[in-house]
Amino acid sequence: MRQLLGTGGFGCVFAGIRKEDGLPVAIKYVSKQRAYEELEITGHGWLPTEVALMTIANTEPPCSNILQILEWYDEPKRYIMILERPEPCEDLADFCKKHGGSLTEIVARNVMFQLMEALKHCKSRGILHRDVKPENILIQTDTLKVKLFDFGCGDLIKGSYKDFTGTLEYTPPEWFIQKQYLADPATVWSVGVTLYRLVCGSLPFKTSKEIKNSHLRFTKRLSQGKELQRLIHFNAFYFMTTMN
């Protein structure tokens, strides 16, 4: 029986092995019953949006910090994606839980640098992920290599967005205030929330009201906040400069 790796509103993901060479893969089944959208990609025609975005992201030269799509199949009620499956690996949320709920500042810095390399690549390809969070980041447990995955909420970059998709706790305050947001600021916000969760072990905001009135507060145990602040400033500076 194939091992179930995860489930969600999209469907489910199973572990598999490619017969031709024994390569470990992840098999993602996505139901077409949810809002189903397609994008037209030159040379590929119309593809499911998630498949299209991963195809664009994986076009040569690819980014080693983004999960690779190996193949996909279209069925009447669902589509199936065959994805690479690094071993040993787990999502970043589970990795944190197994390490006391949070990461050291050194490990967090390494993880965030790789995440921003992935997002920089997405930006260069005109892709907005829209659901950056630890659950959508794989980490190879023996090397700490990071890969961004799950582009199911993604879209091509455009002027502004007036529809919600993603995870509320990682959504920028302008969505709750103005019901719209821009690609780059929304990405920077989700990266900041992700960083806070990795280092502090919890979310900075849990309700839309808290996000509207957002004031980041860090726990005192983290080098009295000094090292964490340097980490945040470094990552924010690097990310915002490379996004331009």
pLDDT digits (tens, 9 = 90+) for 112-139: 999 999 999 999 999 999 999 999 999 9
Rounded CA gap, 141 and 19, in Å? 25
- Out of 21, 94, 131, 155, pick the active-site residue: 131
In the predicted structure, residue 35 carries a pLDDT above the cut 70: no
Overall residue count recorded for the chain in this entry: 244
> What residue ranges do the domains of the chain occupy?
4-84, 89-243
Nearest by Cα to 87 from 136, 134, 142, 28: 142
The correct answer on CATH 3.40.47.10 for the domain covering 4-84 is: no
Buried-state track 197-233, b at ≥16 Cβ within 10 A, e below 16: bbbbeeebbeeeeebeeeeeebeeebeeeeebeebbe
The 10s digit of each residue's pLDDT in 175-208 is 988 999 999 999 999 999 999 999 999 998 888 8
User: Is there a catalytic annotation at residue 21?
Assistant: no
φ, ψ (nearest 5 deg) of residue 79: -125, 155
Q: Is the CB of residue 222 less than 8 Å from the CB of residue 200? A: yes
The CATH number that domain 89-243 falls under is 1.10.510.10
Helix (H) or strand (E) holding 72: strand 69-74
